[in-house]
Amino acid sequence: MVITSDSTTRAGAGNAAGSSPTPPAGVDVPRGLKGVVVTQTALGDVRGREGFYHYRQYSAVELAERRSLEDVWHLMVFGGLPDTAARAAFAARVAPLRRLPAGLGELLPALARAGRSGGALDGLRTALSLAGAARGVAPLYDADEAARVDDALFVGAVTPTLVAALHRLAHGLAPVEPRDDLPFAANYLYMVTGAEPTAAQVRAIERYLICTVDHGFNASTFTARVIASTGADLVACVVGAIGALSGPLHGGAPSRALDTLDEIGGPERIDPWIREHVLAGDRIMGFGHAVYRTEDPRSRLLRAVAEDFGGGLVAFAVQVERRVVELLAELKPGRELHTNVEFYAGVVMELCGLARDMFTPTFAVARMLGWTANILEQATDSKIIRPSARYVGPPAPQPVPAP
C-alpha cells in the first residue's frame, strides 16, 4: 500500500485527445517520497513534530542514557532487551566475530591506499565485500533465518575492525587487533587510537553510537531494504547503504559542522558570520533536519554529553548554536532552525580522540547495526520493491532516423 500526503491521483492527467498514450496506472507521490509509507516496521519510528524517536517500544534517547550498545544491538536484532544471562551470552557470541577472516588483513593496505582521498568509508565498501566473500555469505533468498542472523551479527561486529584498520593504514600506522575483553564502544576507540580510552570517552562515544543506530526510513536504510527485497546477500545490502551514507546530504555533515566552527574562528566573529550566511540564504551545516520540526532529540543528548567534557570548544559550540537560533528569529521571523545530530556529534567525536575523517565512518559503524536489523526484517517479505517513474521525454514511438 502507498499512502501519499495528497489523496489526488493524477495518473490520467494530461491525456486529452492528441496527447501521448495513457500511461500505466499509478499514484503520483511527492518528490523524494517525502511522507510516503512504503511498508510496515517493528524496529522503530521518528515522530518529527514531537521531537521524538524510538527503537522498538523504547525511547532511543533513554536507551542511550541507560543501556549499553550491546543491549540496544540485542534489542534491534532479537526484539527485546537482554537480562544479565542473555547479555553475557550475546557478548560472548559477537566478540569473536570482530576478527577479520583469514587473508583479508593482507589486502587492507592496498584498499587504504586506494581510498585515501575518501577516507575509511570508501575502503569499507570493498573490504566488507571481501569479508562477505571470505565468509561465504549466501543470498538472503537462499538463507534461513538463523544464517541471516549469524551474517548480520558478523557484519555488525567486523565493521569497526575494518574501519579502524583502514584508518590506521591510511595514516601509516599498523592496525590494532580487537580485544574480546572490551565492550563494543571501548574496543572501537582502542582499535582506532591504539590506546585504551578513558571511561568518559567510552561512555560518550557509546551514547553517540546508540543514538545513531537507526532513524526511520532514511536514504541509506531505504537503500539497504530495496536491495534486500531482491534477495541479494546481506553484505550487498549494507554496501549499497554505505554508498548512500557517503553523500554529504546524508552522513557527511559532522566534520562539516565542525569546519563551520573553525571558519567562524572566535566569539567576536559569530554574529557577522551568521548574519552574512543567513542573509545570503546559505545552508549552515549542522542545522535543520528533513523530519524534525523541533529540536533534534539526538542533538539535545549530545549537547549534554559534550557539556560533561566542558572546555573551550564546547562553550564555543553552545554559543554558536544559541546565536544562530536568535539571529534567525530576528532576520527570518517565523522560520525555526535547530541543530541536528551532526552539530554536536562532531564535537563529541573530536573530544573522544577521533579524527575528522573518521566522523562519517563512525556514523557507519553505528548505523550498520540498524541497517542489518532492517535487512533481517525486509528479508521476511517476499515482495520486491519496484516503484514506477513517470516518463516525460519526447513522445514515443518515433521513427528511427537512417544513419
pLDDT in tens, 3-12: 333 333 333 3
Dist. CA 81–CA 59, nearest whole Å: 13
Give pLDDT, residue 278.
82
Cα 55 from chain centroid (whole Å): 15
CA angle 21, 23, 28 (to 5 degrees): 145
Residue pair 76/43 in contact (Cβ under 8 Å)? The answer is yes
Helical ranges in 67-140 per DSSP H: 69-78, 84-94, 108-114, 120-135
Residues assigned a catalytic role = 289, 342
Give pLDDT, residue 284.
77
Nearest to 80 by CA among 55, 45, 53: 55
Rg of the Cα atoms in the chain? 23
Give pLDDT, residue 117.
64
Taking the CB of residue 76, how many other CB atoms lie within 10 A of it?
A: 23
Give pLDDT, residue 16.
40
Give pLDDT, residue 213.
98
Give pLDDT, residue 322.
87
Q: Is 65 exposed, middle or buried (0-12, 13-18, 19+ CB in 10 A)?
A: middle
Per-residue pLDDT tens, the chain, 403 aa: give them.
333 333 333 333 334 434 444 445 678 888 888 888 989 999 999 998 888 999 999 999 999 999 999 999 999 999 999 999 999 999 999 999 999 999 999 999 999 988 666 679 999 999 999 999 999 999 999 999 999 999 999 999 999 999 999 999 999 999 999 999 999 999 999 999 999 999 999 999 999 999 999 999 999 999 999 999 999 999 999 999 999 999 877 876 667 778 888 999 999 999 999 899 888 878 777 776 667 667 889 989 999 999 999 999 999 999 988 888 888 778 777 677 777 778 889 999 999 999 999 999 999 999 999 999 999 999 999 999 999 899 999 999 999 999 9
CA distances from 258 to 164, 261, 282, 345, 351 (A): 21, 5, 16, 9, 12
Torsion, CA 9, CA 13, CA 17, CA 18, rounded to 10: -140
